[in-house]
Structure 1
Amino acid sequence: MKKFLFLLITLWAFQNHAQDSTLIKSKVANAIAELRDFVLLPNDANNPEDIDTNLYWLRKKFTERGFNSSILETEGLPLFFAAMPIDDNKPTILFYMHFDGQSVDPVKWDQQDPYKVELKSKDGDGWKTESFDDLNDDINYEWRLFGRSTSDDKGPIIMFLNAIDILQKEQKELPFNIKIILDSEEEKSSAPLPKAVRVYKDLLKADFLIINDGPVHASGQPTIVYGCRGITTLSITTYGPIKPQHSGHYGNYAPNPGMQLAHLLSSLKDEDGRVLVKGFYDGIDLDEATLQVLKSVPDNANDINSNLAISSPDKVGSFYQESLQYPSLNVRGLGSGWIGKNARTIVPAEATAELDLRLVPESDGNRLKTLVKEHIKNLGYHILSTVPTKEERMKYDKIVTIIEGNVTDAFRTDLTNPFGNILVKTMESKFGARPVQIRIMGGTVPISPFINELKIPAFIVPMVNPDNNQHSPNENLKIGQIAYGIQLFHAILSSTDISK
């Protein structure tokens, strides 16, 4: 009898798994079709018409699933908001994603139209185009969908919608309220978002926030991230002669702005990459427990160095995850005179360096910019925020224009947060292994306005493959990640633990 009962349970589990697998594959096929349709709509945030078209598409798709939706006006482009009918007796999850994408340069893509999704399989070191007709019932989870925003961030939106389809098919009563906010200017730093969150604070009220953006860990394992670094920028310009001059006539006479800028930049960091600006790393203290969490992330230093083609990394922190716990100062662009085949024998009129400063919760972006400016002032520079006049050029030996960018704050949720613990448990139960837990990721997601205004914990739960080429030509989404995302959304949305 016991043997019969065991066989019966085994058979039931097998059939149940087969049914689940069939259902997931069915929704993956549907998700691919919807994603192709969605990506076909250009979504460059620099083109408001693109955003309007995407908003109309989103409203249609969410309405079909029973959501109430609104277009939220801001000082910039509108946000998209949707929610299931609210039950005041249930807790609320707010999901954040974005539907705008980086601009495209079609010439650099291996397909004619970056907005027309192409299906490709691995072919040696390259990719072979496949026919969508060949997917049929046998979906190859290793194949990929190539197109702008397939991974960043339209893919996760489609995964969410198809997980909702499954829950509705199962006729499950969700244990909490669902709200979703979709950003239209994430790729432009979401400048209108802080004020918009203040204006729509009551509408966005929730118990915790889940951000579905960015890739899973490089190992491909399920991942949860507890924070992200913030960002601000500085544009620094030094000056030589008011117009470019012949280097033969004035090469020993007119100050060279390129050399001035080189000396200025070299004073900001030592040879090991550590920032020399006084006070730049103040306030950061990593105890042993935190270091153990950082070391638990399965990074492979040799693989990272090989991918970057570097012999050794900078020495800010002793390993990769530790390096992300500190603010960074990065020269993201340099320009002076002409280069390459266009090089000329001149003393340039000016030289410019574009800097970005990545922030951590212990560092204030405005304070760090002030520290950098004080450092430059102590080098003997007269600092302006405008282009110098002729009179100013002749008055000061060393003159620099510094233009400051906006600040997007960092955020970090405590690793022991109860909602975070439940998300970890949900992922572990669903996929059979404890997820990779990352204390803070290197990139920036504009989430701090939600945390500051709504006073709620936030977690990043990425869905897409780590080698997705986001922001770059040939952006892609692995089909297996669509199945993963649908299953993970389904597990989170049906978790009774979260509602307790």
Structure 2
Amino acid sequence: MIMKKLYLLVVGYSLLFSLSYAQRSVKIDLEEVTDSYFLHGVDILNSLLSIPNDSHYPEQLILNIEWCEANLKERGWLTKRLETSSVPLVLGQKAVPNAKKTVLFYFHIDGQSVDPKQWEQPDPFKPVLKKKNKDGKWEIIPMETLQNDYDPEWRVFARSASDDKGPFAMFLAAWDAMVSKGLMPDYNVKVILDFEEEIGSPNLAAAVTKYKNDLKADMMLIMDGPRHVSNMPTLSFGARGISQITLTTYGPRVDLHSGHYGNYAPNPALRMSQLLASMKDERGRVVIPGFYDGIRLTQAEKDILAMVPDDDEDIMRKIGIGITDNVGETYQESLQYPSLNIRGLSSGSVGNEARTIVPAIAVAEIDVRLVPESDPERLFALIRKHIEDQGYYILDKDPTDEERAKYPKLIKWEGSISYQAFRTPMDSEPGIWLNKAYVRAFGNEPIRNRISGGSLPIAPFVEALDNIPAVTVVTVNFDNNQHGPNENIRIGNFKEGIKTALAIFTEPLSELKIDKK
């Protein structure tokens, strides 16, 4: 049985407040301490992964909330539910005597839906350990194997193994490891746990505004997301925001026989295709006037992007493309601009369900990724104007008979903004402090991303908490299958994630000196 250490920590927690500032600053062997608490971390991980956490089922999320509250309280933390109109958030707090600073950590505990039939294990919510066999196939091995053997390439498979229960298990294991050495951070620690991230955190912004006094901190660290494709230690200093648009074009009231009405009834699928094609040129660059306004990369910024060890030719080969869109000169540069992506199209049927019809409607789903320079309301206005310039009358509901007769080209618009982008300067206080922690942990400076392509619900914190600087501490393997079947976390990444959190906990912050040249 994998070792249990929580009972050994009870005495340790009772001694925490007697620790002196000097004791908290003692240097420790990060590698040795991480090794001794790795299996304890796996215990925590497996316990949390065993609780179903589909964002669409509040009854599942409540069980996760109770687990998180219990585990924080066991460690001497104060907890508070931040009530919303649906599922609450959970705030954990640990005050440290004489601390001058406060660091707020963010995790989300909910997960995407699962289809068990697509998973190569009995149950996506019963974590299993796997290794690759001689044929390169993943095969299950007993979890207890880790007691006597270790291979960093082995993986734990379960929903949310990487996104985002794995990082929270790293955090708890690192905290226990630190306490076992009689240490504490020299800053106060807060943790905010989100249980609706996978459905866009619909209540987060209101909750952050309502509870802003509870959430006050000097900086925010988000432990979510994958490392660079090289799997080297990575920090990300921002994330793009996201908004969505659903467009519906209309033809006849109902599907019509294409023999009788082809060449007569306008085809909404063709109209949708023409409209979407009018938004970009042949190289994928948005041609809507003003879409990229406000974004100017200086040479210094381009130099920072060039430091990320990407191999664009290798990226193209791995994803199977022979040419890239003409937005930015490199992969990293492409992430600095807003994107307009067609994520889904629907009209009529294909394959065995195909019918000889003129379809009644066509639907396009679009996501618009945002950067700090791009106001989503402004982008929405530009896209709407472009649609109107193509001769469309825009509706917010299905057309009436009168509207069908009056307007030759009709389209329904449904738009929503999930959250905005954020970006923190690399030479900010958290940037310099985290860099020191990473160098101490791994011997080299981390890869630093100016902004990541994916989206995180952090902008509400930045806006409500007086532009709090926020940095993403990414730890999991990039090929973790998050959101899909067979999600996993590489054992080596899990172990290094514990080490990363331990380095952050034990890196002095209160007396950090910043050289502003």
Find the aligned partners of 2:276 and 2:136 in 1 and give their Cα distance: 39
Structure 2 counterparts to residues 100-249 of structure 1, below 5 A: 100-123=110-133, 124-249=135-260
Paired position in structure 2 for 1:336: 347
* One-letter amino acid matched to 2:157: F
Deviations 1:371-420 (A, max 9, x none): 00100000000000110011111111101001011241000011221221
Deviations 1:195-243 (A, max 9, x none): 1011111110000000000001111111111100001011000000000
Relative to the length of structure 2, the TM-score reads 0.91
Deviation at 1:359, TM superposition (A): 0.3
Deviation at 1:143, TM superposition (A): 0.6
C-alpha contact 2:394 2:412 (8 A) present in aligned 1: yes
* One-letter amino acid matched to 2:73: T
Find the aligned partners of 2:50 and 2:499 in 1 and give their Cα distance: 25
1:433 alignment partner, one of 433, 439, 444: 444
* One-letter amino acid matched to 2:287: L
Paired position in structure 2 for 1:487: 499
Paired position in structure 2 for 1:476: 488
Structure 2 counterparts to residues 34-433 of structure 1, below 5 A: 34-85=44-95, 87=97, 89-123=99-133, 124-433=135-444
Find the aligned partners of 2:390 and 2:418 in 1 and give their Cα distance: 25
Find the aligned partners of 2:187 and 2:148 in 1 and give their Cα distance: 34
* One-letter amino acid matched to 1:220: N
Find the aligned partners of 1:419 and 1:234 in 2 and give their Cα distance: 35
Q: What is the DSSP-based 3-state SS (H/G/I as helix, E as strand, rest coil) of the residue aligned with 2:386?
A: helix
* One-letter amino acid matched to 1:152: D
Find the aligned partners of 2:436 and 2:299 in 1 and give their Cα distance: 24
Deviation at 1:499, TM superposition (A): 5.0
Deviations 1:6-43 (A, max 9, x none): xxxxxxxxxx99x8655423321111122111111110
Structure 2 counterparts to residues 448-487 of structure 1, below 5 A: 448-455=459-466, 456-487=468-499
Deviations 1:134-192 (A, max 9, x none): 22132222210001001000001011001110111111132000000010111111111
Find the aligned partners of 2:202 and 2:120 in 1 and give their Cα distance: 33
Q: What is the DSSP-based 3-state SS (H/G/I as helix, E as strand, rest coil) of the residue aligned with 1:406?
A: strand
Gap regions ≥5 residues in structure 1: 1-15
C-alpha contact 1:25 1:139 (8 A) present in aligned 2: no
* One-letter amino acid matched to 1:198: T
| CA-based RMSD | 1.4
Find the aligned partners of 1:162 and 1:133 in 2 and give their Cα distance: 18
Relative to the length of structure 1, the TM-score reads 0.95
Find the aligned partners of 1:300 and 1:125 in 2 and give their Cα distance: 25
Find the aligned partners of 1:105 and 1:467 in 2 and give their Cα distance: 19
Deviation at 1:263, TM superposition (A): 0.4
Paired position in structure 2 for 1:9: none
Q: What is the DSSP-based 3-state SS (H/G/I as helix, E as strand, rest coil) of the residue aligned with 1:405?
A: strand
C-alpha contact 1:366 1:407 (8 A) present in aligned 2: no
* One-letter amino acid matched to 1:420: G
C-alpha contact 2:30 2:499 (8 A) present in aligned 1: no
C-alpha contact 1:419 1:498 (8 A) present in aligned 2: no
Q: What is the DSSP-based 3-state SS (H/G/I as helix, E as strand, rest coil) of the residue aligned with 1:461?
A: strand
Find the aligned partners of 2:511 and 2:501 in 1 and give their Cα distance: 15
Which deviates more from structure 2 when the two are superposed, residues 423-432 or residues 286-295?
Answer: 423-432
Deviation at 1:252, TM superposition (A): 1.0
Deviation at 1:498, TM superposition (A): 5.4
Gap regions ≥5 residues in structure 2: 1-26, 513-517
Q: CA distance change for structure 1 residues 432 and 271 in 2, over 3 Å: closer, same or farther?
A: same
Deviation at 1:75, TM superposition (A): 2.1
Q: What is the DSSP-based 3-state SS (H/G/I as helix, E as strand, rest coil) of the residue aligned with 2:171?
A: helix
Question: Paired residues, what number?
Answer: 484
Identity of aligned residues (%): 46
* One-letter amino acid matched to 1:384: L
Deviations 1:430-479 (A, max 9, x none): 10111001000000000011111112100001111111111111100011
2:35 alignment partner, one of 25, 31, 40: 25
* One-letter amino acid matched to 1:362: E
Which deviates more from structure 2 when the two are superposed, residues 112-121 or residues 489-498?
Answer: 489-498
1:443 aligns with 2:432: no
